[in-house]
Amino acid sequence: MSTLHQRAFTVTVIWTLVLLFLGSIVHATESSLACPDWPTCFGTMVPEMSGGVFWEHLHRLVAGGLLLMWVLTTWLVRKETKDHPWVFKACIVGLVLLLIQSAFGGLTVLYQLPDLVSTTHLGLALLFLALATALASWSSWSRGVDHVSAKTAAGVRKWGGAAATLVFVQCVLGGLVRHMDAGMACPDAPLCLGALIPPLDNALIAIHFTHRVVGILAAIAVVGLASWAMHADAPKAVRSWASWAAVLTLVQVGLGFVSVLTTLAVVPVSLHTLVAASLLAALVHVTTLGWVDDGAAEPAPDAA
């Protein structure tokens, strides 16, 4: 029977994914400045929900709901995990991340969408997603994982962590591409301006091409993780989630192509962000499964 804080962690992960999806819709529909002030919208908290205001203010309301949800989660953790004080401390870190991320959201509006501020806003949201996912995995999803050798557990952490890090970097680069309006700097796919390696003397082309290159590296890492998990004595949960991560990677690559070929249509671009965030969460979950409890992992057999 799961406890309330375990359920709250899971709801928070889903809520954060929805928020990231809405944030992508806000940008794709050019609604980022539909509310020219912050934290109010045209001086009120209840503006007319029409046009771009609908998406921008809905995004703000969902963000506010996430903050309240995390405060509730932190309170539940304080009550239910007294034997693991580090969990409460992690929740405090998450609360600080959310507050800073909210402040960057305000700066994004007040300073008319500066690229680095907007990208930092996204990066902090992804960091919070990773933290919430790790806590959700530790508290509930990872319970009942088969006993594994210490060597295998270390491998899960190593390869899962590497893949998650690459995907995080790829997501941040994607945010920079989005906020610099570099999404169509390479109007063709899979080539860029008809070349395998385009001229990189233009900042927009360079950042777009870098996004693609890191995407290839991230895809190789995720597929490699899935392949390793299948051939190692990894527990079933690790094999299953690593396989799902590989599937999400293929979907993500396809959405990237479609986004370019449809000139950044709202649906594929927004789904591109959602799948990227979901992939990051899946990889963080896999990595967390490698952090088995003390004594849960069996020592690796001696080479001799």
pLDDT one-digit tens code per residue, 269-298: 999 999 999 999 999 999 998 886 433 444
pLDDT at 230 over 50: yes
Domain end, chosen from 118, 141, 164, is at 141
Overall domain count for the chain = 2
| Same domain flag for 189 and 266 | yes
pLDDT at 270: 97
> Quick count: other Cβ atoms within 10 Å of Cβ 88?
18
Give the span between the Cα atoms of 183 and 255, in whole angstroms. Answer: 13
Mean pLDDT of 147-163: 87
CB 12 within 8 A of CB 73: yes
* 158 and 57 in a common domain: no
- Of the candidates 112, 141, 170, which is a domain's last residue? 141
Long-range contacts of 117-124 (CB under 8 A, 24+ apart): 118/32, 118/175, 118/179, 119/172, 119/175, 119/176, 119/179, 122/20, 122/23, 122/171, 122/172, 122/175, 123/171, 123/172, 123/175, 124/97, 124/100
Residue pair 212/192 in contact by the 8 Å Cβ criterion: yes
Q: Which 8-state DSSP code applies to residue 44?
A: B
pLDDT of residue 296: 43
Same domain, 124 and 9: yes
User: Same domain, yes or no, for 193 and 300?
Assistant: yes
CA pair distance 41, 209, nearest whole angstrom: 37
pLDDT level of residue 231 (50, 70, 90 thresholds):
confident
DSSP, collapsed to helix, strand or coil, labels residue 185 as coil
> Looking up tokens 């020219």, which residue turns up?
36
- Asked if 43 and 132 sit in the same domain, the reply is yes
Q: What is the DSSP letter of 141?
A: I
Question: How confident is residue 145, by pLDDT bands cut at 50, 70 and 90?
Answer: low
C-beta separation of 299 from 150 below 8 A: yes
Same domain, 176 and 133: no
Q: Give me the domain span that covers residue 129.
A: 1-141
Q: Please check whether residues 302 and 199 belong to one and the same domain.
A: yes
Same structural domain for residues 297 and 159? yes
9 and 119, same domain (yes or no): yes
Q: When comparing pLDDT for 169 and 144, which is higher?
A: 169
- pLDDT, one tens digit per residue, over 38-68 is 999 999 999 999 999 999 999 999 999 999 9
Looking at the fold, whether 157 and 136 belong to one and the same domain comes out as no
164 shares a domain with 113: no
Q: Mean pLDDT: which of 75-84, 133-142, 239-248 is highest? A: 239-248
Supply the angle between the helices 4-28 and 266-289 in degrees, to the nearest 10: 150
CB neighbour list of residue 22: distance below 8 Å, 6 or more residues apart: 55, 58, 59, 62
Confidence at 151, pLDDT banded by 50, 70, 90: confident
Last residue of a domain, one of 141, 158, 181: 141
Residues 37 and 126 in one domain: yes
Amino acid 163: pLDDT: 97
266 versus 299: the higher-pLDDT residue is: 266
What is the structure's pLDDT at 152? 86
pLDDT at site 2: 59
